[in-house]
Amino acid sequence: MEELSWTGSFASTLIPAIMIAFAIFLIGIILQLVMGFFASEVKLQSNTDGTLKSRGGLQGQLEKINTQLFMLIVLIGAAIIVVSWFMPYGKAGILGEIIKRFMPVWIALIVTFAVSIFFKRKLGLYGKLFDSTIGMIGFALVMFWVFTSIFVGFFDLIATHDPLQQISGIKNKTPGFLVPDGQEANFFPHYLLGGDNLARDIFSRVVHGSVIVMLIAPLATVFAFMVGITLGLPAGYYGGKLDTILSFLANLILAFPVILLFYLLVTPEIVATGLPNYMGAFLFIFPLIFCGVLINSRYKTQGKKNILYLSIVLVPLALIYLMVISDNASPLVIWPSKLDFITIPSGILVVFVSVVFVNSPTVFRIVRGLALDIKTRDYVAAAQTRGEGTWYIMLWEILPNARGPLIVDFCLRIGYTTILLGTLGFFGLGLPPESPDWGSTINEGRKLLLIYAHPALPPAMALLSLVLGLNLLADGLREESLKD
Amino acid sequence: MTNKTLTGAPLHPAVEIYVKDAQTGKLSRREFMARTTALGVTSAAAYGLLGLAQPAAAAGHAQQGGTMRMQMEVRALKDPRAFDWTQMAFVTAGWLEYLVEYNSDGSFEPMLLSGWEINDDATVYTLSVRQGVQWNNGENFTADDVARVITDWCDKNAEGNSMAGRMTALVDDVTGTAIKGGIEVVDAYTVRLNLPQSDISLIAGMSDYPAAVYHSSIDRENPANTPVGTGPYMIESNEVGVKAVLVRNEGHEWWGYAEGKGAYLDRIEYIDYGTDPSAWVAAAAADEVDMTYETVGDFVDVFESIGYERSEIASAATLVIRPNQAAEVDGVKPYADVRVRRAISMAVDNSICLELGYADRGIVARNQHVGPMHPEWADVPAIDYDPAGALALLTEAGMQDFEMEISSIDDDWRKNTTDAVAAQLRDAGFNVKRTIIPGSTFWNDWTKYAFSSTNWNHRPLGTQVLGLAYRSGEAWNEFAFNNAEFDALLDDANAIAAADERAIVMAKIQQILVDEAVTIQPYWRSLYRHCKPGFVGWEMHIAYLPQIYKIGIAA
Amino acid sequence: MGLFILRRLGVMVLTAICLTFIVFWLTNLYPKLEVLAKTQGNFRMSDEAVISYLGNRGYTQALPVKYGQWLGVVPGYIIEGSDGEIRSKCERNSPPTDETPTFCGIIQGNWGFSTVAKEDVADVLPTRLGNTGKLMFWVLMVMVPGALIIGVLAGMREGSRTDRSLSTVSIIATATPEYVSGVILIALFATPLFGMQYFKGTATSAMDNITFNNFFLPVMTIAIYGMGYIARMTRASMTEIMTAQYVRTARLKGVSFANIVIKHALRNALIAPFTVIMLQVPWLLNGVVIVETLFNYKGFGWELVRAASNNDIEMLLGVSVISVIVVLMTQLISDIGYVFLNPRIRIS
């Protein structure tokens, strides 16, 4: 066994090929850009059968070549994935081995894409996403990390080592470093992306970090939306005093510099006072209210069904709610500790609560704005004349019609939450120090950046790709939803 | 070399024992220097007693003038007695000087004192005040000033006064102030200290960084407001967290010029780059500073890679990662059980802690908090590294499912070392949770955390730190270690003068620490400072003392 | 209009009061005060000493009373301490004299005393704000023109290759938070690692003397993140204008493309970005905090972090007041500016 090189036996074949193709592709793009400034305006002309005429001239040629080049790059990439799978261990280099480790993710991605594209006409807005290249790339990036976190979190695949395990001798070693002898038989023999400052495997930490990010960011965003929607709809719909007060409160929170708020909330002293638990108790009640009102407003007239649905949804939610917010270590104990099966570590709870708290007012403002706009529509007036309850109108008339912008904002907001989590990690607030989440690892890595760049770059790239994916996805969704 | 002692008095009788011990190798040179010079022997004479010549002062090649910029945290100043960061002393050292100076070779040099004599049983100290020293407001520096400052030091009631702990022999337990008749002004240049019991550590106490000698007009909230002192510099600006600047006090005739002490630089700037070492490197790479205050762990290599010179000194500075035996977690005292503590010690390989925590920049220690650099150290083996046995022992104690929460401060090496301990415990099959506490909060409860790490600085004698931190009921006993046999042995060790006998007692003491598995004390760290080529006299000091007058630009 | 501004100012004052009260409450929780006592007194202080320290300095009074004193509507405390010394708030914990005013709060222009810097808040903050002002100025100088050019070029011809490429660039920019771009920029351009050591990795020297070398990286780090967002907004507004009726008419009349863009579209397309840029200013504050910490530049953001981590109560309150004013003023300006630029909107 020896150290791995970056590309292994691909070094002389596929890698140069993909590099050359990519370089030409880039040059092509730049050429197109430059020519685009000078070229005459594009005039699309249609053939007699209704299809568009392809563009002639140098520009048209370039466009064609570039499309073909792009296909070629995708093909070579796929070839590398497939070929490396059949290569014996170590032959495919670091890249090949990493690709192999991600095999479950590739399979899941391919299945998702195949199924989605096949049924795309029946899948509404989601299906339309597959008409937009930008949206597809974004979706692929996001799903890559979603699948990674699922496979790492639930099935313990992909990661090569325990993210906290330290092996003497691999401190700050470069990618592809061989683990010294004396480990157990099935031990993975290399640190694929090298070791960090505490001799932990960077690759495993990055993929484990995705679990934390994927757990907190979307969930916190969902909670923020629940809070924002539950307060924003009535504020926009009723207006008046309620609106004035709620808007004032939202603006108050928004006037806080986010970092000051974090510094005030996410400190051990504040955690000790139990403030995060109380805030959690307040914020986490909104999903209950939301679900309760949602069902009640719809089935109010059908007494039995109403009670049945309400109890199916609300009882488990209420139980979870009580278990989550009650914590023996904090001053807030409202549930017998013997029945308390869910305990959120205080560090994570305070981070979660703060992120929800910071995001809710923005969602509130968006929802309020949408409600203000939509309440003047005819179908709302129609519902009012039908004599529907106000909550029914808000939740079953206004909300579904506001879903487009909300879904787009949801994607963007997950990205923003991911950035916020990273910011917290960057200032060393919140999550425990050994946590492999990307913000903390970037912060750890940057301290030694001047000598070792390899510990900081993988989490930075991971964070970048996820946020980029979410932004692209949101962009694709926006475009497609505008086409409606 | 006419006189062997600073005052010309005969040698203290204990010196003879020390010479014998040193010649037979029972006393290290550093320790010999510390002990003899503390008894008033000149350092040249102390070297002479060993048959050695005193090393020439390196600063002899400095040129006069120039500016030095040091990367250093600029902290808010306060009453010098309450200083808790040596960085504060680096600023005040421009105008506030010390009675005695402790050097990295272990010797004590007189500064504002010209010498001292100690009687045979170390109960009477006669301090001779240096003549011809002037405050920079024109007043003469006299015995009254010395007596006033020592009286202040003995005031236990002053908030945060840590000098009282160094002057215990002079403090009245009832009133918490200096004992009556303890400090006596004999004439204008002589002060006599009369102690109720013998204590040989007073001179060492006077050399520590909070022992700056200040004028009666001092503003205790911020000494920079009334910078009256005896030193060669004057403060120009002091912006906390940003920058502090010292400039030569042109109008003041410093006593050291005549003595050839130095003060070569015209201007000293301390620039604050925060606590993150990478920012220091960035500053050095951008040529915004000339030297670091201290370089830690991994950054030693980084600074060398950009061409900086290294100053290294092996010290007894260390880190303890200890359980608190009295700590209650969920109604039980998990660490009161010696099996649990032993299991922890057995599961941790100290050399891995050194490698991962401090980049192998030091020597491995044996969890005894006394080491080869201490004169009284005995060669007691460490507990064996045996992770499997550790888990078995923990299971036997019934604590295999107990979640140990290990806390540490948020910084570079202390956090990394604690992380390394946590990871090893986890590898051995323990259930471990790591908590990190920001620097501003960490010290709130530092003695009370159930399991945490604390750094301890270098002290000349091994028994000093054992007495401070391990004796039953001491304020700084963060281990909650309570062992009557240990306390009794420690008293013996403090009294015995001959190295042979002391080694036997020390062997017992160290064995108790190992058997009781009081703490993990993984390594002794070396201290580093880095400097751009072209400076002299900037070497790292073993106890971080601010000897800035020695720094100069190479001629 | 006057009434509108007046009402907004009223809201601003109310917001500032609420906000500072929240900050005041959070910083005055007992564990926080304990931190304060230990950093000011001695790290290894006993619990009794902490209590007497806090009591002597008026920290143990009731919260509304303390807040009133800070605000200047309740007389400043005069306490005879357990150590026998008399301390009064208005004399910075010295004994009161005949000339000591009864009230000394922010209304009287007394911003309080920073326990960390050992200086008056009113002395420290202006220097910090000055430093941040310089940074912001250069950030805006780089960011605004850059973002507008990218946005206009991309929005000129929607769906073209130029649009796609520039949009992707601006999306990547918005997806790169400051702590990622800052780290990458330092690694690339301020270390010998990649052989491109053109700039300095710290901006400490820029406080005295701004040079291209020491200011380029911090400015770029903030500008990149902000640029993406403004560029996308500009693009959106530009594409909308380009499909507007009057532009179509102009094109049908045969006005050249360049003329249309410069003479007809640009002015109207820049209304929306103006509000966005103004609203972006408070967001820049976040970036400023990260960048000032990363590059060790002692401005407002750096002061915020220092005050927050040391529980420097009065400094934090000063910081909050300033940031509330900045946030609400930019909102006000963007509203007023929007009205002036867009004659179709009138405030009722």
Query: Nearest chain B Cα to C124, which residue?
Result: B239
> Taking 80 as the threshold, does the pLDDT of residue B200 lie above it?
no
> Taking 70 as the threshold, does the pLDDT of residue B115 lie above it?
yes
> Taking 80 as the threshold, does the pLDDT of residue B191 lie above it?
yes
Q: Give the pLDDT band of residue B3 (cuts 50, 70, 90).
A: low
Within this chain, do residues B177 and B325 fall inside the same structural domain, yes or no?
Answer: no
> Which of B211, B244, B265 delimits the end of a domain?
B211
CA distance B393 to B517: 13
Q: Mutation target for C interface from A55, A419, A447: give the one with most C CBs within 10 A.
A: A419
What range defines the domain where residue B360 resides? 318-525
Which residues in chain A have Cβ-Cβ distances shorter than 8 Å to B282? 450
> Across chain A, what does the average pLDDT equal?
82
Q: Strands, E, within A384-445: which ranges?
A: none
Which residues in chain C have Cβ-Cβ distances shorter than 8 Å to A272? 31
Kindly give the interhelix angle for C212-242 and C161-174, rounded to the nearest 10 degrees.
130
Summarised one tens digit per residue, pLDDT across range C107-118 is 888 888 888 888
> Taking 90 as the threshold, does the pLDDT of residue A95 lie above it?
no
Which residues in chain C have Cβ-Cβ distances shorter than 8 Å to A477? none
Within this chain, do residues B518 and B397 fall inside the same structural domain, yes or no?
Answer: yes
pLDDT at C209: 82
> Is the pLDDT higher at A412 or at A432?
A412
Closest Cα in chain B, distance from residue A440 (Å): 12
In a domain, B109, yes or no: yes
pLDDT at B496: 63
**What are chain B's partners, defined as 3 or more CB pairs within 8 angstroms?**
A, C
> Taking 50 as the threshold, does the pLDDT of residue C60 lie above it?
yes
> Is the pLDDT higher at C13 or at A11?
C13
Summarised one tens digit per residue, pLDDT across range A43-58 is 556 666 666 655 556 6
| Listed ranges A210-224, B463-477, C44-58; the one with the highest mean pLDDT | A210-224
A390-449 residues touching C, CB cutoff 8 A: 415, 419, 422-423, 426-427, 439, 442-443, 445-446, 449
pLDDT at B1: 42
In a domain, B48, yes or no: yes
> Is the pLDDT higher at C260 or at A37?
C260
Asked whether the beta carbons of residue B288 and residue C191 sit closer than 8 angstroms, the reply is: no
Query: Nearest chain C Cα to B447, which residue?
Result: C44
Summarised one tens digit per residue, pLDDT across range B468-499 is 788 887 777 888 888 889 988 887 776 666 66
In a domain, B373, yes or no: yes
Which residues in chain A have Cβ-Cβ distances shorter than 8 Å to B433? 432
Q: Which residues contact A258 (CB under 8 A, 6 or more apart)?
A: A358, A420, A423, C286
Which residues in chain C have Cβ-Cβ distances shorter than 8 Å to A451? 193
| Listed ranges B9-18, B110-119, C180-189, C262-271; the one with the highest mean pLDDT | B110-119
**What are chain C's partners, defined as 3 or more CB pairs within 8 angstroms?**
A, B
A133-162 residues touching B, CB cutoff 8 A: none
Which among C34, C53, C190 has the least Cβ separation from residue B282? C190
Q: Which residues contact B145 (CB under 8 A, 6 or more apart)?
A: B129, B213, B215, B216
Asked whether the beta carbons of residue B276 and residue A428 sit closer than 8 angstroms, the reply is: no
> Across chain B, what does the average pLDDT equal?
85
Which among C14, C180, C304 has the least Cβ separation from residue A464? C180
Which residues in chain B have Cβ-Cβ distances shorter than 8 Å to C34? 444
Asked whether the beta carbons of residue A199 and residue B305 sit closer than 8 angstroms, the reply is: no
DSSP assignments along C105-162, one per residue:
SGGGT---EETTTTEEHHHHHHHHHHHHHHHHHHHHHHHHHHHHHHHHHHHHSTTSHH
Of the listed ranges A278-287, B148-157, B197-206, the least confidently predicted one is: B197-206
Asked whether the beta carbons of residue A164 and residue B281 sit closer than 8 angstroms, the reply is: no
Which residues in chain A have Cβ-Cβ distances shorter than 8 Å to C304? 257, 259-260, 263
Amino acid of residue B177: T
SS3 track for B323-347: ECCCCCECCECHHHCHHHHHHHHHH
Amino acid of residue A355: V
Asked whether the beta carbons of residue C305 and residue A269 sit closer than 8 angstroms, the reply is: no
Within this chain, do residues B204 and B324 fall inside the same structural domain, yes or no?
Answer: no
Within this chain, do residues B193 and B336 fall inside the same structural domain, yes or no?
Answer: no
Q: Give the pLDDT band of residue A215 (cuts 50, 70, 90).
A: confident
Of the listed ranges A260-274, B143-157, B329-343, the least confidently predicted one is: A260-274
Q: Mutation target for C interface from B240, B276, B299, B478: give the one with most C CBs within 10 A.
A: B240
Count chain A–chain C contacts defined by CB atoms under 8 A: 137
B317-346 residues touching A, CB cutoff 8 A: none
pLDDT at A360: 92
Question: A390-404: buried (b, 16+ CB within 10 Å) or exposed (e) per residue?
Answer: ebbbbbbbbbeebeb
pLDDT at B229: 92
Q: Mutation target for A interface from C21, C180, C290: give the one with most A CBs within 10 A.
A: C180
> Taking 70 as the threshold, does the pLDDT of residue B2 lie above it?
no
**Backbone angles phi and psi of A333, in degrees to 5:** -120, 110
CA A47 to chain CA centroid, nearest Å: 43
Within this chain, do residues B328 and B188 fall inside the same structural domain, yes or no?
Answer: no
Closest Cα in chain C, distance from residue A130 (Å): 17
> Is the pLDDT higher at B183 or at A193?
B183
CA distance B523 to B357: 10
> Across chain C, what does the average pLDDT equal?
83
Q: Which residues contact A88 (CB under 8 A, 6 or more apart)?
A: none
In a domain, B477, yes or no: yes
> Taking 90 as the threshold, does the pLDDT of residue A200 lie above it?
no
In a domain, B472, yes or no: yes
By the CB < 8 Å criterion, does A166 face chain B? yes
Summarised one tens digit per residue, pLDDT across range B456-468 is 888 777 777 887 7
Which residues in chain A have Cβ-Cβ distances shorter than 8 Å to B415? 433
Instruction: Kindly state the average pLDDT of the residues A434-463.
Output: 82
C221-280 residues touching B, CB cutoff 8 A: none
Instruction: Kindly state the average pLDDT of the residues C282-309.
Output: 86
Summarised one tens digit per residue, pLDDT across range A311-354 is 888 888 888 888 877 776 666 677 776 666 677 777 788 888 88
Closest Cα in chain A, distance from residue B168 (Å): 35
Q: Smallest Cα–Cα separation from B76: which of A325, C24, C36?
A: C36
CA distance A110 to A96: 18
Q: Mutation target for A interface from B273, B308, B355, B424: give the one with most A CBs within 10 A.
A: B355
Using DSSP's 3-state secondary structure scheme, residue A141 falls into helix
> Which of B159, B191, B211 delimits the end of a domain?
B211
By CB atoms closer than 10 A (0-12, 13-18, 19+), residue A386 is exposed
Residue B420 near residue B356, CB atoms below 8 Å: yes
Asked whether the beta carbons of residue B282 and residue C53 sit closer than 8 angstroms, the reply is: no
> Which DSSP letter does residue B388 get?
H
Which residues in chain A have Cβ-Cβ distances shorter than 8 Å to B281? 450
By CB atoms closer than 10 A (0-12, 13-18, 19+), residue A429 is buried
Point out which residues pair with B117 in neighbouring strands: B126
Which residues in chain B have Cβ-Cβ distances shorter than 8 Å to A428? 410, 436, 438
Q: Give the pLDDT band of residue B341 (cuts 50, 70, 90).
A: very high
CATH code assigned at B29: 3.90.76.10
DSSP assignments along B272-288, one per residue:
---S-HHHHHHHHHTT-
By CB atoms closer than 10 A (0-12, 13-18, 19+), residue C342 is middle
> Which of B211, B239, B261 delimits the end of a domain?
B211
Residue A455 near residue A389, CB atoms below 8 Å: no
Instruction: Kindly state the average pLDDT of the residues A160-165.
Output: 79
Report pTM.
Answer: 0.82
Closest Cα in chain B, distance from residue A164 (Å): 7
Amino acid of residue A264: L
pLDDT at A184: 64
Query: Nearest chain C Cα to A438, which residue?
Result: C180
In a domain, B158, yes or no: yes
Asked whether the beta carbons of residue C202 and residue B286 sit closer than 8 angstroms, the reply is: yes
pLDDT at B287: 85
- Write down the ipTM of this complex: 0.84
> Taking 50 as the threshold, does the pLDDT of residue B59 lie above it?
no
pLDDT at B344: 92
In a domain, B427, yes or no: yes
Asked whether the beta carbons of residue A166 and residue B438 sit closer than 8 angstroms, the reply is: no
Asked whether the beta carbons of residue A197 and residue B298 sit closer than 8 angstroms, the reply is: yes
Amino acid of residue B534: G
pLDDT at B127: 92
pLDDT at C230: 87
Q: Which residues contact C135 (CB under 8 A, 6 or more apart)?
A: C215, C218, C219, C222, C288, C291, C292, C297, C299
* Cα A325-A328-A329 angle, rounded to 5 deg: 100
CA A257 to chain CA centroid, nearest Å: 24
> Taking 50 as the threshold, does the pLDDT of residue C336 lie above it?
yes
Q: Give the pLDDT band of residue C346 (cuts 50, 70, 90).
A: low
- How many domains is chain B partitioned into structurally? 2
Instruction: Kindly state the average pLDDT of the residues A255-274.
Output: 81
Asked whether the beta carbons of residue C42 and residue B444 sit closer than 8 angstroms, the reply is: no
In a domain, B486, yes or no: yes
Query: Nearest chain B Cα to C310, which residue?
Result: B440
Which residues in chain B have Cβ-Cβ distances shorter than 8 Å to A198? 356, 416, 419-420, 423
Asked whether the beta carbons of residue B288 and residue C118 sit closer than 8 angstroms, the reply is: no
By the CB < 8 Å criterion, does A302 face chain B? no
Asked whether the beta carbons of residue B420 and residue A165 sit closer than 8 angstroms, the reply is: no
Instruction: Kindly state the average pLDDT of the residues B22-34.
Output: 77
Count chain A–chain B contacts defined by CB atoms under 8 A: 75
Q: Mutation target for B interface from A170, A198, A328, A343: give the one with most B CBs within 10 A.
A: A198
Within this chain, do residues B322 and B205 fall inside the same structural domain, yes or no?
Answer: no
Asked whether the beta carbons of residue B356 and residue A428 sit closer than 8 angstroms, the reply is: no
Asked whether the beta carbons of residue A432 and residue B355 sit closer than 8 angstroms, the reply is: no
Point out which residues pair with B407 in neighbouring strands: B435, B452
CATH code assigned at B508: 3.10.105.10
